[in-house]
Structure 1
Amino acid sequence: MRTDDGPAALDDPVGQSLVTRHAHLARRLGRAATYQADVATFSAVSTEPDAEDWADLAELLGPGAFADMFSCPATPPRDWQPVFTLEGRQMIWPGGNPADGPGAGSESDLVELGGDDVPDMLDLVARTEPGPFWPRTHELGTYLGIRVEGTLVAIAGERLRPPGWTEISAVCTAPEARGRGHAARLISGLAARIVARGDRPFLHVAERNSGAVALYERLGFKTRRQVTFRGFRTP
């Protein structure tokens, strides 16, 4: 899990985040690392793991625990039970000012979310299922939301943070509030903040989510590579 602030950092975004800007949220043993359980389930091993690396990760997680290996291409030992496989893609912001893009608009109703908003965030995530989200996931970075008459109807936030890059994730809108451009404005608002501090935005999306892929492409994101997301259960 070497650090690298160029595009190669995106080949191991979980590992790169855990040993750099998310080190304070990590649990580590040897060359294996994972997030604190109530922050995220993502785990990482060396880019060329050996049996000791997998044993260290299994010890970190515990017996029969879920190991979300994200886009790690390495194959764990045979006694690790497969849980899921999901095809997806990694997309990056090509450059330029997101504030000038097609998703730009008024940010007057975008609010920054924090610990007091977690119950509402968890409720919205449960209703829309954008991906893994836990009680402390918001600590990974900035989360923005839109409230209508006090009700949280849309969110988007920052997740993985390998050097030089910040991932946009947890993009979701309540069913009754869709079709109003909320997701586009939240993504553009986050991207503008990321670029302003000197990072480049990137994101991951499931291939089967064609609507999200189309939205990200319309906003200007370009596909960098195809990825396969995989999860396992430790022995």
Structure 2
Amino acid sequence: MVRNSAGFPIGQSHPLDNSVYSALTGPHAHFAQRRGNALRYPLDVSPFMALPDSPDDADWADIAALAGPSGGATLTGLTVEPPDGWEVVTRGAVLQLVDDGIAAVPDEEALPLTQADVPEMLALTERTKPGPFLPRTIEMGTYLGIRRRGRLVAMAGERLRLPGWTEISGVCTDADWRGQGLGTRLVLAVAAGIRERGETPFLHVVASNMNAFRLYESLGFRLHRAATLVLTRPSAEAPIS
């Protein structure tokens, strides 16, 4: 069997290349809201939506219907431009990094977070802006936190889950507690849990955040690929079936 540079059969992409689609057709299929080939997470879980690798006009019409008349589609890994009748609201570059021998290790101080912790998690992410964290994001995977004097001051957890892979996300530390390595400890603890399931950790960083990129490289992550994160929405003339 002829394989490509990622080790997959020719014609078969790496699951990380369209990670949201891989998640919503795999381990996160129970979250999937579907219309044709277009998929999305519930609005209170994640803003991410997904299209197949080579979407056609029907797929774009379906994702427009999923987005709704006033909504937009947040897509990552998109390899084609949105068609006529769609507006690109924002576009950014992200770097996808994969485990390349990180020293994953549990942390005794890292406590599992539960639904009861969600108000504090939402407050922490609102202060620190690690990326979207919504009332049901915690359902996507395991989240761990560190408390000081009873207050949640740092957390990290699992977001996208695809066959054989789990994304580390939501890494943040309150400003008053930065510089103590709490985020690093939590990343390594979350990675240890992922490894225990026989899966491989990966994560995304904004391409302009080279400090974070270098930190993750120092922990043993390596660059897998660069990707584009696009928020796009249909105009009033875009077809919605």
TM-score normalised according to structure 1 size: 0.92
| 1:1-235 equivalences in 2 (<5 Å) | 8-95=14-101, 98-99=104-105, 107-235=107-235
Residues 38-85 of structure 1: CA distance to partner in whole angstroms, max 9, x if unpaired?
Answer: 000111111110000010111112012021002222222222221111
Residues 139-187 of structure 1: CA distance to partner in whole angstroms, max 9, x if unpaired?
Answer: 1000011110111111111011110000001111011000001011000
TM-score normalised according to structure 2 size: 0.89
What is the letter of the counterpart of residue 55 of structure 1? A
| C-alpha distance in 2 between matches for 1:151 and 1:19 | 37
Who wins on radius of gyration, i.e. which is larger?
Answer: 2
C-alpha distance 176-97 of structure 1, shift in aligned 2 (>3 A): closer
SS at match of 1:195: helix
1:43 and 1:68 in contact (8 A); partners too? yes
Offset at residue 121 of structure 1 (A): 0.5
| C-alpha distance in 2 between matches for 1:228 and 1:44 | 13
CA RMSD between the two structures: 1.6
What is the letter of the counterpart of residue 12 of structure 1? N
What is the letter of the counterpart of residue 36 of structure 2? G
2:64 and 2:233 in contact (8 A); partners too? no
| C-alpha distance in 1 between matches for 2:234 and 2:42 | 17
SS at match of 1:12: helix
| C-alpha distance in 1 between matches for 2:180 and 2:101 | 26
| C-alpha distance in 1 between matches for 2:102 and 2:146 | 25
C-alpha distance 97-176 of structure 1, shift in aligned 2 (>3 A): closer
What is the letter of the counterpart of residue 55 of structure 2? P
2:100 and 2:221 in contact (8 A); partners too? yes
- Residue segments in structure 1 that go unaligned for 5+ positions in a row: 100-105
Identity of aligned residues (%): 46
* Structure 2 match to 1:103: none
List structure 1 segments (4+ residues) > 6 angstroms apart after TM superposition. none
SS at match of 1:131: coil
Single out whichever of 45-54 and 63-72 deviates more from structure 2: 63-72
Give the count of matched residue pairs. 225
Single out whichever of 153-162 and 90-99 deviates more from structure 2: 90-99
